[in-house]
Each structure stands twice: as structure tokens, then as C-alpha cells.
């Protein structure tokens, strides 16, 4: 399995853009800070972390909806960091996004058929209106909606149905990579599993690479092949699902997992309550960004940033106290 997408030292810094006045420095937000990782062909990678840690920014960077401040992005072996709008045309077709908010992301004045066919038209993939309607009907069926709904408008649908419509639009162009940014967090809990199952089925049938963004590890437990955990703009742990859930190395992953419901009562671990708030990304802590809340923090954590190092085959953690993983090594 080779990589469909590779990020090397990618950062995104937002500044408020206003003039520096009254001696006050311009606010600078390090939303994504020196991130390197790969997404393999045909895999589902879950990207997890608390609100504001930079998940959406990273997702948008990968699709080049925004430009990185520094670093390099490769799509299918091609350097796309500096590609022009024109050069990005083919990549855009192959890489699609499903949004968090099924209410705000569908244009209210357009019919379902128009919404779903938008990418098909943009990339010239249908030749006639008959072909367009046939394709929309087929896509609606694939996401579990009756094809005769195509002439209705978004307001006539529930949140779960709207998210199905968003998914139909994303898969319409047969993409090889999809970013779903918290696709179920605005939905009722009872509907969340249905939408996750649908995306998992579609991923298996079509084999696209899938970045699934969530703030909760419990949500991605079934769908993920690998999991990346983000904290304050950095990936602090990444690895196969089995390692990240079963033999996590980073204290932050540990804390996130201990906050999630454990389905197997025998495995219940001690609940770790994180002290304090997430520091502001405008004022990043020195050394390991997690040291202000970490129960294990020592002097070195305040001064030296731990690199993301391999702790077991395919598993990497950024912690001075991470140890080679006893379950998976030897």
C-alpha cells in the first residue's frame, strides 16, 4: 500500500492581518505546526483531538482549500504545494470534502439534483440532462435515499438525510480521497451510527482513501484503520487502531481514551482528568505543548519538544517518556 497523500513539515499560521498598534503584537495563531504524516491508498485514517487543535485547518490544507505557510504536500506522488489554481483542477476532482454542518453546507435554493450534480457539471462528467438525472438517481440509491427525492429542496430533509446528500455529492466524481470533517457531530446520536456505517460501506466498495475528522475517539473506533491524535496543532500520536487504542504511548491519547466510554468493562482503565484548559494557540507552551496539563511532565518537557518517534511498527508518539511498545515489539 503506498501513500495517496504525504505531508512534510506542514504548518499554517493565521495572523489577524490588522496593523500592529499601541505596541501590541499582531495575534498569530499556529493552527497547524510542523505536521508530517501519510495517508495510504484505500485506508481510513481518523484525525482526533479537542476543539481548536487544528483538525479542520489540516483537512483544508490537505485539499489545498487553504495554502500552507510552510512545508510540502504531495498528492499521488506529485508535489502540489505550489500548484496553481489551474494545476489543481485534476487534484480537486480526485479529492472531495464532506462537511460537518449538514444544514449550512447545502445551498437552500438548489434542488437535490442540482446540488449532487454540481461537481459532475464542474468537471464535465455528464453529457446530457438525461445522463445527469440517471447518475443522480444512482447516487441517491447508493446513499440510501429514494431517487424520486431529487427534485426536492434541502429544507425538506432531516439532518441525517442531508448528510447523505452531502456524501452523494462527494462520491459523485468517483474521488480517490475524501476528507469528512466531523460529519456526524451535528447529528442525533441515533443517526450517527447509520451515517458512519454508510461511509464505511462506501469506503469499502469504492476503495477511496478517507480522512475522518472527529473530536471523540469513540466515534471512530469502528471506522478507522489508523488513528492520528492532534494536540495544539501537532500530531502527538499516530498508528494502527489496535496500537492507539490498545497500547497508546502518549499521555494525551491516554486521557482522551479514558474520557471515552469503554465497551469492554474488563478493560476499564483509570480515568484521567486533564487539569486546566487547552492553552491558546496564540501563546504556545515551550517544549512539549502538552506539558502544562500532563500528569507525567518533568523539566525536559518544558524545554525540549519531543519528536514524533517510532515506538512500535507503524506507531509513533511525541513524548519524552514513550517506551517501545511491549505488546507489539518482540
Ligand X SMILES: Nc1ncnc2c1ncn2[C@@H]1O[C@H](COP(=O)(O)OP(=O)(O)OP(=O)(O)O)[C@@H](O)[C@H]1O
Binding site for Mg ion (CB under 5 A): 56
Identify whether the C-beta of residue 291 lies closer than 8 Å to the C-beta of residue 250. no
The beta-strand segments (E) located in the chain are 3-15, 28-40, 44-48, 70-75, 78-79, 95-98, 177-181, 209-214, 226-231, 234-240, 309-312, 315-317
Bridge partners, residue 40, by sequence: 3
Residue in the block written with cell 462527494: 170
Q: Which CB, 70 or 205, lies closer to ligand X?
A: 70
Helices (H), 260-327: 299-303
Residue 56 within binding range of ligand X, rule CB under 6 A: yes
Report which DSSP code applies to 124. Answer: T
Choice from 24, 25, 51, 265 touching ligand X (CB under 6 A) = 51
| Closest distance to Mg ion from the beta carbon of 180 (Å) | 11
254 binds, among ligand X, Mg ion, none (CB under 5 to 8 A by kind): none
Choice from 6, 37, 44, 55 touching ligand X (CB under 6 A) = 55
- Interface characters, 246-285, with ligand X (x: CB under 6 A): -----------------------------------x----
Residue 68 within binding range of ligand X, rule CB under 6 A: no
Retrieve residue 135's grid coordinates: 447518475
- Taking every pair of C-alpha atoms in the chain, what is the biggest distance, in angstroms? 68
Residue ranges in 208-247 that form contacts with ligand X under rule CB under 6 A? 215
Choice from 54, 71, 160, 183 touching ligand X (CB under 6 A) = 54
Measure the CA angle with vertex 55, ends 92 and 212; round to 5°: 65
Residue 14 within binding range of ligand X, rule CB under 6 A: yes
| Closest distance to ligand X from the beta carbon of 131 (Å) | 37
Give the rounded distance of the alpha carbon of 197 from its chain centre: 17
Residue 198 within binding range of ligand X, rule CB under 6 A: no
Q: Which CB, 137 or 244, lies closer to ligand X?
A: 244
Choice from 31, 91, 117, 171 touching ligand X (CB under 6 A) = 31
The stretch among 47-55, 128-136, 157-165, 247-255 that binds ligand X (CB under 6 A) is: 47-55
CA distance 315 to 308: 10
Count of residues of this chain found to bind ligand X when the rule CB under 6 A is applied:
13
The stretch among 55-63, 172-180, 288-296, 314-322 that binds ligand X (CB under 6 A) is: 55-63
| Closest distance to Mg ion from the beta carbon of 181 (Å) | 6
Q: In what helix (H) or strand (E) does residue 258 lie, and over which residues does it extend? A: helix 251-259
Q: Which CB, 59 or 287, lies closer to Mg ion?
A: 59
Pairing verdict, β 209-214 and 226-231: unpaired
CA distance 71 to 40: 19
- Residue 260's SS3 state is coil
| Closest distance to ligand X from the beta carbon of 231 (Å) | 10
Q: Which CB, 29 or 137, lies closer to ligand X?
A: 29
How many other CB atoms sit within 10 Å of the CB of residue 72?
15
Choice from 11, 44, 57, 172 touching ligand X (CB under 6 A) = 57
> Cα dihedral sign for 12, 13, 14, 18?
negative
Q: Which residues bind ligand X (CB under 6 A)?
A: 14, 29, 31, 49, 51-57, 215, 281
Amino acid at each position: 500500500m503506498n501513500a495517496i497523500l504525504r505531508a512534510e513539515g506542514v504548518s499554517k499560521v493565521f495572523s489577524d492581518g490588522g496593523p500592529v498598534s499601541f505596541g501590541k503584537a499582531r495575534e498569530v495563531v499556529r493552527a497547524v505546526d510542523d505536521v508530517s504524516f501519510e495517508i495510504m491508498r484505500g485506508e481510513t485514517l481518523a484525525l482526533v483531538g479537542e476543539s481548536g487543535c487544528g483538525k479542520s485547518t489540516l483537512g483544508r490544507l490537505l485539499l489545498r482549500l487553504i495554502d500552507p505557510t510552510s512545508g510540502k504536500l504531495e498528492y499521488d506522488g506529485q508535489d502540489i504545494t505550489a500548484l496553481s489554481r489551474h494545476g489543481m483542477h485534476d487534484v480537486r476532482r480526485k479529492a472531495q470534502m464532506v462537511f460537518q454542518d449538514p444544514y449550512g453546507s447545502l445551498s437552500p435554493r438548489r434542488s437535490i439534483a442540482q446540488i449532487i450534480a454540481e461537481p459532475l457539471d464542474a468537471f464535465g462528467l455528464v453529457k446530457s440532462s438525461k445522463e445527469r438525472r440517471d447518475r443522480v438517481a444512482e447516487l441517491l440509491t447508493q446513499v440510501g435515499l429514494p431517487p424520486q427525492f431529487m427534485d426536492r429542496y434541502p429544507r425538506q430533509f432531516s439532518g441525517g438525510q442531508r448528510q447523505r446528500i452531502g456524501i452523494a455529492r462527494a462520491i459523485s466524481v468517483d474521488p480517490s480521497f475524501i476528507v469528512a470533517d466531523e460529519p456526524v457531530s451535528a447529528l442525533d446520536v441515533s443517526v450517527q451510527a447509520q451515517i458512519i456505517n454508510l461511509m464505511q460501506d462506501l469506503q469499502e466498495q469504492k476503495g477511496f482513501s478517507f480522512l475522518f475528522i472527529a473530536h471523540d475517539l469513540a466515534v471512530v473506533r469502528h471506522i478507522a484503520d489508523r488513528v492520528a491524535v492532534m494536540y495544539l496543532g501537532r500530531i502527538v500520536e499516530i498508528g494502527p487502531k489496535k496500537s492507539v487504542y490498545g497500547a497508546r504511548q502518549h499521555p494525551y491519547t491516554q486521557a482522551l481514551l479514558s474520557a471515552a466510554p469503554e465497551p469492554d468493562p474488563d478493560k476499564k482503565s483509570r480515568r484521567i482528568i486533564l487539569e486546566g484548559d487547552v492553552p491558546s494557540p496564540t501563546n504556545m507552551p515551550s517544549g512539549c505543548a502538552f506539558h502544562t496539563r500532563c500528569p507525567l511532565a518533568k523539566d525536559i518537557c518544558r524545554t525540549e519538544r519531543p519528536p514524533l518517534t517510532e515506538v512500535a511498527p507503524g506507531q509513533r508518539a511525541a513524548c519524552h517518556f514513550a517506551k517501545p511498545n511491549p505488546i507489539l515489539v518482540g
